[in-house]
Amino acid sequence: MTYLEAIAVLIVIRCDMYLTKKGVRNSLSDFPAFLGMAENCNEKAMKNWADEEARHDSGRGDYSCMEARRYFELLDMLKADEIVRSLVDLAICGFYYPEFKRYLEKFFGFGICLKLACLIEEEPFPDESRVLKRSGALSLFFGIDLNKSPVMYQEISLDDRTMGFLSGDDSIGNKVSLYGYLFSPEEELHESFIRNEIIKRGVSFFENGGKVLQLSGKGGRRFLAKHIGKKLGKKVLFLNVNEVKNAMGERFFLTRNVLIREALYQKSMICLYGLSDKLLEGGSEDKLDILRKSIISYILDNQIMLVMCCDLQVRLLPDMDGGEFRMIDLDNIPTFDERKLLWNGFVRLLKLDINPNEAAMRYHLNPSETSRMARGLMDIAEKDAADRSIMLSKLSLNCAGIADSHRLGQIVFSKTRLSDVKLDKKLRSTIEDAIGSVTVSHKVFDEWELKNEYSYGCATSILLSGPPGTGKTMTANAIAGELGIPLYHVNLSNLVDKYIGETEKNLERVFSFAEKTNVVLFFDEADSIFGRRGEVKDAQDKYSNNEVSYLLQRIEAYSGIVVMATNIKGNIDPAFMRRIRYVIHFDMPDDDVRRQIWESLITDKVPHEEIDVEYLTIQFKEFTGSIIKTVFLNACSKAAFQEEKLSMKHLIYAIWIELSKSSSVKFSLDTLGKYSYLL
């Protein structure tokens, strides 16, 4: 017979003795299970029980069995007197013997409750203050509702989790697992590659009597909480506030009590996470007040160390004493040196095939995002170079979170390469220089230590100017394709907002996203946002100039790749021009470039008859690359529809369609020259 079973036997015997005093004889006779139980309670079982009682009374605490140790730990949590102890014993019996409830209702008229425990302890009429004092702890462990009367007669029971605790089971309960998880200091935890000083400060704070540590910022806060718990030798129970708040209904207090009770069973700290701007936005003070009163205050009342992970730089407990409360701000994006330490650490830990310095330069991720990306790299290590580049980009986008990015821009995984863009040699050479500057930026700024000389202006900024259709957008895609990273094509119609200050907020979202994910940031028709500041004639002019000034500051601090395209270079504010590293002007294509474009389109994959490329090149000198491609596509569509090979007939027809548009290129039959007869 186990220690807990012996307790169950003894409480039944005490109930029978109480009834005997009241004139009820042989109360157990109609309950054979109890009679058998009493027979099994032999002298050895009683001696073991008595020995554990003696160890407890001596204060040594050297219990010989786990059940006894846990039993007295539970009584300590309850701050139990003899009446509360009897109530616990009754609950243990009720768990082992379902018919115990029938027995009690037959002879007492009610089930397991505080009233029954008082009767057995011969205190049938306790005063109200003593009832409330006992009920406070009982509400936490047994679900007594202090708002319902009479408290004395509320039935209690021992649930599976409490019984598991008494039996030595340390796994968290099923209810708690809905809202969080448990970290044990025995679990393996890799070293903290950065922020070790914060861990030391957190440990020292709790060792010196601190109660609540607030970690504000984003990235790696729960990892820090684990390290703090590990150094303190404490388990950490992580609870997602967003999940817990969904239980804030009629039975919320039961959910809250289960969570706090679990922390007491585990002797753990609690770490609340999910304290985000979305949770607190709109009437934030009311929500904070509910959070403080409904959860935080109960945690502190039970002397549980608390860590709070909050996105906002808001002191959640402003009235708490500085010795008991500490707020530590974390930088959302680590410095370049910290990112190097992170990547070097993960390369060593996970044996990654990636240059840590280059990764630190490319990806402005916080510690938790860096961890997810580093572990994701293990899954794509065996991919070939082309696939690996695309997957690496997708991985960084997923780690940084792309949910908010689509409204302000479109992510393009470009397959265009510089060889696909037909350019003259000087233009191509300048673009190659710009691409090359990106690939060696980690060497120039890090290894050659030029970053110290260029604390601002580390961006690779490229302005593409020239008439429409000359290849600016295609070149932007080619730059991204050559670098093997995504193009983030900014949607200017969504970026510019009529409401004051909203454009700046949108710009910040764009630049922050681009910095974190290492994309080519592309502003098409850039003069609409990078345009000249004008004379201030009204409030709108003032705010428009403010937007440009903000953009100047933001692009100066930017360290990524930004490409801007404009039809008229003179429309760009001169202050931007001074900060742009590469200004590349696209003229109308000359004969050689137009010839290359025509020849690149007429491939063996397109069934065709003999095409007079020289005629097409010389005859239509005002055609840009964009117009040539439109003409060729329309000609191919005409030929395919007629189930014929592509011929000059189809091309002349497509040219006529193009020249008939309202454009600067005027149409006449003379324009078609020697092939006008085909029309």
Residue 272 has pLDDT above 90, yes or no: yes
Please give the pLDDT value at position 537: 43
Residues 201-229: tens digit of each pLDDT: 999 999 999 999 999 998 899 999 999 99
Please give the pLDDT value at position 282: 52
What stretches of 247-355 show up as alpha helix (H) in DSSP?
A: 252-266, 277-280, 284-291, 297-301, 336-350
In one-letter notation, the amino acid at residue 90 is L
Those residues with Cβ within 8 angstroms of residue 260's Cβ, 6 or more apart along the chain or in another chain: 140, 270, 298, 299, 302, 304
Residue 525 has pLDDT above 50, yes or no: yes
In this chain, the answer to whether the domains covering 418-585 and 591-678 adopt an identical fold is: no
Those residues with Cβ within 8 angstroms of residue 321's Cβ, 6 or more apart along the chain or in another chain: none
In one-letter notation, the amino acid at residue 646 is L
**Inter-residue contact 223 to 192 (CB < 8 Å):** yes
Please give the pLDDT value at position 100: 93
Q: Which two tokens stand for residue 150?
A: 């009479």
Distance separating alpha carbons of residues 272 and 165, to the nearest angstrom: 23
**Inter-residue contact 162 to 141 (CB < 8 Å):** yes
Residues 581-626: tens digit of each pLDDT: 999 999 999 999 999 999 999 999 999 999 999 999 999 999 999 9
Give the pTM: 0.81
Residues 231-254: tens digit of each pLDDT: 999 999 999 988 776 655 556 677
**Inter-residue contact 155 to 111 (CB < 8 Å):** yes
Indicate the DSSP class of residue 646.
B
Please give the pLDDT value at position 651: 96
Q: Which two tokens stand for residue 213?
A: 């540590």
Residues 476-523: tens digit of each pLDDT: 999 999 988 899 999 888 887 766 678 888 888 898 888 888 899 999
Q: What is the CATH number of domain 591-678?
A: 1.10.8.60
DSSP assignment of 398-421: HHH--TTTTTTEEEE-----GGGS
- Supply the mean pLDDT for the chain: 87
Which CATH code, of 3.40.50.300, 3.10.400.10, 3.90.76.10, 1.10.490.10, is assigned to 418-585? 3.40.50.300
The kind and range of the H/E element at 212 are strand 212-216
Domain positions in the chain: 3-166, 174-329, 336-383, 418-585, 591-678
Q: Are strands 236-240 and 180-183 parallel, antiparallel or unpaired?
A: antiparallel
Report how far apart, in Å, the C-alpha atoms of 137 and of each of 144, 166, 301, 490, 572 are: 9, 17, 11, 58, 70
Distance separating alpha carbons of residues 240 and 378, to the nearest angstrom: 28
Model confidence at 40, in pLDDT bands (50, 70, 90)? low
Distance separating alpha carbons of residues 12 and 100, to the nearest angstrom: 8
345-359: average pLDDT: 91
In one-letter notation, the amino acid at residue 560 is G
Distance separating alpha carbons of residues 299 and 115, to the nearest angstrom: 28
What stretches of 59-99 show up as alpha helix (H) in DSSP?
A: 66-78, 82-96
CATH superfamily of 174-329: P-loop containing nucleotide triphosphate hydrolases (3.40.50.300)
